[in-house]
Amino acid sequence: MLVVGAGQMGGGIAQVVAASGRRVSLYDTAPGAVERGLESMRKSLGKLAEKGGPDPDEVLARVQPVDGLVQAELMIEAVAEDAEVKEQVFRAADKVLPPGAVLSSNTSSIPITSLGAATGRPESVIGMHFFNPVPLMGLVEVVRGLETSDETAAAIVELARELGKTPAEARDFPGFVSNRILMPLVNEAAYALLEGVADPEAIDTIAKLGFNHPIGPLALADLIGLDTCVAIMEVLHEGLGDPKYAPCPLLRQYVQAGRLGRKSGRGLYRYER
Ligand SMILES: NC(=O)c1ccc[n+]([C@@H]2O[C@H](COP(=O)([O-])OP(=O)(O)OC[C@H]3O[C@@H](n4cnc5c(N)ncnc54)[C@H](O)[C@@H]3O)[C@@H](O)[C@H]2O)c1
């Protein structure tokens, strides 16, 4: 299996795939990104091992860093949430991976149909949308593009189960199901902050205790990455044509300042690095 992108999600996906006993090649264009990904995996696996999880060394031995796209029966793409970048990865993967191999994307919102159209095998292109942190979250949202075959969908549903996740199928509409529901919540919380209705801690406490959510929307936005949240909201806004999905200016400004959330050490909150 080939995982492209070794950030928060790609690293987590590679970890879960390797923990299931499969070999995984991990590729990222940014210098040092694969090494950072391996480091995060080691930390996560160490914590899981204390609770009876697999031996971290054995799992990590199945992860092979690679310098480019390589042959595999399945690609899981987890690069930045940018349609042009993803389409370019799919075009290149279509040339490298053997005929019949499945090309999947962990995209939060970019149309699977357009990723399929960037290849000569749209029937083998599908969304395999994991949740953050991947080793702990039980859901995979399986998204079929217009041309995705039943065979491809069945294979990905089966794989999700084998990785210990629960698959749920959604159609290829902007934001699918998960982010169409989640992002308006995050955006409204950002507006409540911008308008001075409450401070971040109070907003998140109200959501956690009032709605029984395990994490508040602002802390969750920081976990996802504010850049990723803004990118998803832009896809929802453009794709559904309703101004209610436009990203709150506060989120845009934080992204402009480089406050991307946990991954940059500062977002709506500050984090120890
Ligand atoms: N963060 C979340 O909570 C979350 C949840 C579900 C899905 N996603 C989706 O997963 C994807 C990745 O998100 P993330 O949070 O891991 O982002 P991230 O910023 O942590 O990582 C993205 C990685 O992709 C690499 N990259 C960029 N262009 C590349 C290319 N052409 N080839 C190889 N690597 C490349 C970057 O160097 C970076 O390491 C996005 O599509 C995002 O929408 C994110």
Per the CB < 8 A criterion, the answer to whether 34 and 6 are in contact is yes
Using pLDDT thresholds of 50, 70 and 90, give the confidence band for residue 174. Answer: very high
% of the chain with per-residue pLDDT over 70: 100
Distances (CA, A) of 211 to 117, 133, 166, 203: 40, 21, 23, 11
Q: State how far the Cα of 225 lies from the Cα of 105, in Å rounded to an integer.
A: 18
* Ligand 1 centroid from CA 82, angstroms: 9
pLDDT at 273 over 90: no
* Ligand 1 centroid from CA 223, angstroms: 13
Q: Is 75 in the pocket of ligand 1 (CB under 6 A)?
A: no
Q: State how far the Cα of 20 lies from the Cα of 140, in Å rounded to an integer.
A: 15
Q: Give pTM, 2 decimals.
A: 0.95
Level-2 CATH architecture, domain 2-171? 3-Layer(aba) Sandwich (3.40)
> Nearest C-alpha to atom 21 of ligand 1 is from which residue?
7
H helix or E strand, kind and range, residue 76: strand 74-77
Q: Is 264 in the pocket of ligand 1 (CB under 6 A)?
A: no
- Domain edges within the chain: 2-171, 180-264
Per-residue pLDDT of 123-145, as tens digits, reads: 999 999 999 999 999 999 999 99
Judge whether 141 counts as a catalytic residue: yes
Structure tokens of 165? 């996740």
Using pLDDT thresholds of 50, 70 and 90, give the confidence band for residue 235. Answer: very high
What 246-254 contacts at long range (C-beta under 8 Å, 24+ apart), as own/partner pairs, is 247/187, 248/187, 248/190, 248/191, 248/194, 249/194, 250/190, 250/191, 250/193, 250/194, 251/187, 251/190, 251/221, 251/226, 254/226
Level-2 CATH architecture, domain 180-264? Orthogonal Bundle (1.10)
